[in-house]
Structure 1
Amino acid sequence: MSDPAVSVITPSYQHAEFLADNLRSVRSQTGPSVEHIVVDGGSTDATVNLLRKFEDDYDLRWISEPDGGQSEAINKGIEMANGEWLIWVNSDDYLLEGALETFADVRDRNPTCDIVYGDHLFVDADGNEIGRKYNARPSTFVHKYYYQFAGNHSTFFKRDVLESVGGIDESYEYAMDTELFWRILDADIRMARVTAFLAARRLHEDAKTTGSPPEERTAEIKRLERQYPQTRIERLLPRPFLIVTAACLQACYHLLDGRPQAIPSMLS
């Protein structure tokens, strides 16, 4: 059997109530061949039973063992994966119908690109849409002062490129995606963007990044911000001004791309 075109990597821990949606979303994809790698941190809920139930339905491989956290689990998944392209979708998030077909179409039309990314929805615990994230053009300035240009659950990485930037930094447990996307921007990697919704990010009370950020996440963001290089002008200008400027730049990108509907979502 030939290697799959895409490997979906799912770190998991104690999310059995949401995991079934994640598994079904990968199982139901059409288009390029896909394998699903679930790296569970030794959950004691119904996670393992779910994985056993689904493992004969499609190309699903999984492990369940104690680990050092989400970042380590993602790197384990990268090592286990066989696909030329990888996407990391957390256990409480899921792919939307047609995501892989859309990815394959963009990949085929942009044969030299190393990353393909799109937009994502925000959904509540029951899967009802509560918001939209329109991802814009890559910008180091916007990334530093406003928002990262893409989300992990709607970004396909060519495997060798992800490995070339060092994978996930396991010293980050909350801001690992922001840190990874900074390294990608800094490496000047070729990217293709599609104006389509590829995945859903679930916001619920048990999610790590929902609600007021814990001290650990705040500390990681501050640590990351200290690593960002700054021009002389950036060092002279007040941070609130830089934040507003970055937001305005992102809004301009949306207008230039003919997506004015994206601007209200920036304010929500």
Structure 2
Amino acid sequence: MQPLLQDYSNKIKFQFSIILPLHNRLNYFESCLKSICQQQHQCRTEILLLDDASQTFSRQDIQQIVEKCRPYLPSEKYTIYYLRHPQNLGEYSNINWGIKLANSPWIYIVHDDDLLLENTLLWFEEIIQKQPSLDLVSGASYTIDDTDKIIKKSSFLGNQGLANQEFLNLFLANNPLECVATIYSKQIFEKVGYFKADLDVSADWELLRRVSKVTELQWYYLPQYIGACRHHEQQKSKQYQTSISDQYIWQVLNLSQHYFSSLEQRTSKKSRYWQCFQAVEHYFDAGEMDSALSLCLDIVEFSDLGDRLWLEVLNQFELKHKQQIYELMVMLIDKATEVH
């Protein structure tokens, strides 16, 4: 019996490419792979397993898990390729590598702890067959825990169909989409470039902000739950506990000056300051002064305070601790100025 796990080849063309990055963790991989193999779509699909120099498992371990999925895996529909880096690239460099190797016009990025719903790829397939010129298709997602229990449902962002400006404006202040909720045409990466790997967990958001500025963009939104992302102790983004004011977020905001209008830039930064000050307000109410100080330090260190938008936001909105926040910010700015 021929092994299901194959060495990469570019000799076969597919309709879908599923990019599945792996690094030092297989706890949820089998469940993830089963959810992919049980899809109801018809088109030929490659699965690119991208092992980023893992030290805790081998190709043989991957092979054993893949073989467990054989009963669910119609060989005429799926081809599974295994690729391994000898040195660690990092998550988004690994994903970018997979995008470039993909043998199809459509790219779907699935993390090893994600789950697809039964009809995820079928929904994508039906939409794309009707509108093959689309740039990307997005939907809603669940958040699940270690036991696959749904702990959160994302909001629907609009009506079914092509995205309007109101939808695109949602990406000014935040990223309302999980990675598992979007399939990309390969051509969109040719238009806007790839993920900026140095932005870590904010790379998805920055890419979608660039995408939102594409001329004659064809972004289709489906108000339907597409898949599930998992929150658990081993999750990278949970380890980092990404702050609402960490350096990557401010890097994203600053990078967008190259493609956002000055008004959009102001709107983005003001919204972020407002979120930060709301959090500081909460910390004051809870008596968590160290957390309030830490967040304000992040604002001073990573945001560009020269435009004084932070002060405009503080003056514009009602906050119970407005004066204390102002005094804390001024003190930290003065100290930062002395250092420099």
| Unmatched 5+ stretches in structure 2 | 1-10, 71-77, 277-340
CA distance in 2: counterparts of 1:211 and 1:43, whole angstroms:
18
CA 1:108–1:17 in 2, change beyond 3 Å: closer, same or farther?
same
TM-score, structure 2 normalization: 0.64
Q: Which structure has the larger Rg?
A: 2
What are the within-5 Å matches in structure 2 for residues 1-268 of structure 1? 3-31=13-41, 32-46=43-57, 48-55=59-66, 57=70, 58-65=78-85, 66-137=87-158, 139-145=167-173, 147-188=174-215, 189-210=217-238, 213-214=241-242, 218-228=246-256, 229=260, 230-231=262-263, 234=266, 239=271
CA 1:160–1:85 in 2, change beyond 3 Å: closer, same or farther?
same
CA distance in 1: counterparts of 2:64 and 2:80, whole angstroms:
11
1:15–1:92 Cα contact (<8 Å) kept: no
Aligned to 2:309: none
Q: Secondary structure at the match of 2:55?
A: coil
Which one-letter code corresponds to 1:61 in the other structure? Y
CA 1:55–1:164 in 2, change beyond 3 Å: closer, same or farther?
farther
Shift of 1:79: 2.0
Shift of 1:242: 6.4
CA distance in 2: counterparts of 1:242 and 1:75, whole angstroms:
33
2:172–2:264 Cα contact (<8 Å) kept: no
CA distance in 2: counterparts of 1:50 and 1:197, whole angstroms:
32
Report the RMSD for the aligned CA atoms in angstroms: 2.8
2:253–2:265 Cα contact (<8 Å) kept: no
1:21-77 superposed Cα distances (whole Å, 9 cap, x missing partner): 121121221212211111111223346334212556441111232222001110111
Q: Secondary structure at the match of 2:196?
A: coil
CA distance in 2: counterparts of 1:175 and 1:185, whole angstroms:
16
TM-score, structure 1 normalization: 0.80
CA distance in 1: counterparts of 2:271 and 2:182, whole angstroms:
29
Q: Secondary structure at the match of 2:199?
A: coil
CA 1:2–1:73 in 2, change beyond 3 Å: closer, same or farther?
closer
| Unmatched 5+ stretches in structure 1 | 245-268
CA distance in 2: counterparts of 1:102 and 1:238, whole angstroms:
37
2:178–2:229 Cα contact (<8 Å) kept: no
CA 1:81–1:112 in 2, change beyond 3 Å: closer, same or farther?
closer
- Between the aligned residues of both structures, percent identity stands at 19
The count of corresponding residues between Structure 1 and Structure 2 is: 242
CA distance in 2: counterparts of 1:29 and 1:37, whole angstroms:
16
